Structure 1
């Protein structure tokens, strides 16, 4: 490692190198190699008229030495990198987090570089004192954090707010990945169902199940409130058609449409933001945490085996682990336990819909309607 390496790594000539440039280059090689290179780098930069500062070089040796001895944490290294004065904070006070470097989209890359340039200007003007940061001056650190917070939340000349622009891009990427996963799962579900004989529609069972379902949905407590949220029926009139009602609620379990309504009787200042989730909120959170692949494995297995198969949470977890329809490794008992826990929120709701009976055994109604409802949820 030499000065040429640092210049290539930073994409700048030696006279324009910043402390951040040198720090990032030092972290890009094994710590032992970097420690050996520090004296030569320091002399070479000083000879060219870009000496940086003694405090930077001392902090570099301290941090690299801690890495080499195994005593440095990830947080220690990040804090040192940030102390160069031009490294954006990994986590701000408002909990903004920059995406990993190899996961940044065009907007995140642009905004990150804009932030670096902004900080370089503040260092040049003297508003940021990297030596004070290297010496762990609390006031300097607080001012450094304030400066970045204001920049992230203030509009650029083109009107964009950097923090919001990056978050919006991440949301778009997340939604796109979700849609792609859902479309693939839907295609696999249709392929599997096309290989099976279509089940007969159990009209009498559906009618009886919907009589019970309407009673449950009229009840303000659990499970009616959860099922209404799943289907998006809070405050909405229920469909008159039994099949439409049943399929929409069943589909909502695999893809909840809305959250539980807020309790308007509890003033916001008295809300227990740090308290445990209510049972209903915990159930909805569990439903939202189940992956497309898990739903596919479970419903495909139940469709193949038909009425009479046990569909308890424990058995469902085993269906997922043994499924040939999805590529998943669940060799760890904790993975099975996690799947079982999630589906423990599903089976009581299925029972309300007549999908399983009191013994958690799949019914003819469940065999007929579950695949249709899942296809509806993903369509």
Structure 2
């Protein structure tokens, strides 16, 4: 731990090092090592013409001593880093929170770097007094916070507002993760289905019967017609004339519902009635949306391998998923089995209306042919 280490850690020459650079380098090594190196580092910085200040070195010694003694909290250390005058405040008074360093996306990392550079300019201009910050001056801290709040809400030359740019990226992260998981599941589905020894033929007679019955159901206002319409996104668009297109759209919708139920006057009242029970429609859609990609993949590929005539009851689906070699599941976890069975109970019920399973919950030739295609459709983008 010496001046060269700090320069390498910060990516700057000694003459350009800031208090933040030195503080971060000191925290990058064990506190005992940093304490021992502190006097020599201070002398080396003085020799380089960048002495920083006695207040900073005193605070560094005190903070490292507390860390070494096990008395410093995470908040204490964060506050010390912030007192360098160029470290963005982790939690601002308006409750804007910077993501942790290892969790920042490209936009958050860019905005954080921009703010550090801005604060460095303000220190050079004399608008920020790091010595006042490190000694706990309340007015200096308040001004420091206000300065950052203004910057976060100030549009950049390209029109982006930093606080919204960061929060928008954070909001998009779950969707990006889901998209990645979906793409992987789709590639695995295609790989597994392509490797099956026999590809099923379309049972035209079964499809015609199922499509006729499906059109009748979709014309009804109540369950299961309203759920199937929502799943396929047929609430605001006409049904396709082609039986195969209609059937695949609805079957795919069961695996990936396109929309919710149409709103009516009582919907908000029912939704906010915490003591009331969910309707069969809401409970069904909630279960469909709760099933993970891995469970769909394991269940459908197991049925595709076994072929028509295999039992596809909710209990059997849970067992097929638990025993799948395509995903990792702890077979000994009975709670997971029960939960998976509960999630697939409405699925198997809807499959019955589509002719995927018969009255005994046994996979039909139509289900064998159509389930993999429906799942592929549910997970494919328009470009696919």
Larger Rg: 2
Q: In structure 2, do the counterparts of structure 1 residues 199 and 96 end up closer, same or farther at CA, with 3 Å as the change threshold? A: farther
Q: In structure 2, do the counterparts of structure 1 residues 315 and 86 end up closer, same or farther at CA, with 3 Å as the change threshold? A: farther
Q: In the alignment, what sits opposite 2:251? A: 250
What SS is found at the alignment partner of 1:69? coil
Q: In structure 2, do the counterparts of structure 1 residues 157 and 204 end up closer, same or farther at CA, with 3 Å as the change threshold? A: closer
Q: In the alignment, what sits opposite 1:115? A: 115
What SS is found at the alignment partner of 2:122? helix
Question: Would you say 1:177 and 2:180 are equivalent positions?
Answer: yes
Q: What is the correspondence of 1:65-214 to structure 2 with a 5 Å cutoff?
A: 65-66=66-67, 69=70, 72-73=73-74, 77-90=77-90, 93=94, 97-98=98-99, 100-101=101-102, 104-105=105-106, 107-130=107-130, 134=134, 144-165=144-165, 167=168, 174=177, 177=180, 180-181=183-184, 183-193=186-196, 195-199=197-201, 201=203, 203-204=205-206, 207-208=209-210, 211=213, 214=216
Range with greater deviation from structure 2 (369-378 or 95-104): 95-104
Q: Is the 8 A contact 1:42 1:57 kept in 2?
A: no
Q: In the alignment, what sits opposite 1:238? A: 239
Question: Would you say 1:50 and 2:51 are equivalent positions?
Answer: yes
Distance across 2 between alignment mates of 1:23 and 1:46: 16
Q: In structure 2, do the counterparts of structure 1 residues 360 and 177 end up closer, same or farther at CA, with 3 Å as the change threshold? A: same
Range with greater deviation from structure 2 (140-149 or 17-26): 140-149
Q: In structure 2, do the counterparts of structure 1 residues 338 and 148 end up closer, same or farther at CA, with 3 Å as the change threshold? A: farther
CA apart distance, 1:347: 3.8
Q: Is the 8 A contact 1:207 1:242 kept in 2?
A: no
CA apart distance, 1:223: 5.2
Distance across 2 between alignment mates of 1:276 and 1:78: 46
What SS is found at the alignment partner of 1:196? coil
Q: In the alignment, what sits opposite 2:21? A: 21
The runs of 5 or more residues in structure 2 that have no matched partner are: none
Q: In the alignment, what sits opposite 1:219? A: 221
Normalised to the residue count of structure 1, the TM-score between the two structures is: 0.74
Normalised to the residue count of structure 2, the TM-score between the two structures is: 0.74
Range with greater deviation from structure 2 (291-300 or 140-149): 140-149
Distance across 1 between alignment mates of 2:128 and 2:86: 9
Q: In the alignment, what sits opposite 1:303? A: 304
CA apart distance, 1:10: 0.5
Equivalences, count: 372
The runs of 5 or more residues in structure 1 that have no matched partner are: none
- 1:312-366 Cα offsets, whole Å, 9 max, x none, are 445434433432334x353672665665565456444434434345665434443
Q: Is the 8 A contact 2:63 2:72 kept in 1?
A: no
CA apart distance, 1:199: 4.7
Distance across 1 between alignment mates of 2:287 and 2:83: 41
Q: In structure 2, do the counterparts of structure 1 residues 55 and 356 end up closer, same or farther at CA, with 3 Å as the change threshold? A: farther
Distance across 1 between alignment mates of 2:3 and 2:250: 65
CA apart distance, 1:7: 1.5
Superposition RMSD in Å: 4.4
Q: Is the 8 A contact 1:85 1:123 kept in 2?
A: yes
CA apart distance, 1:115: 1.8
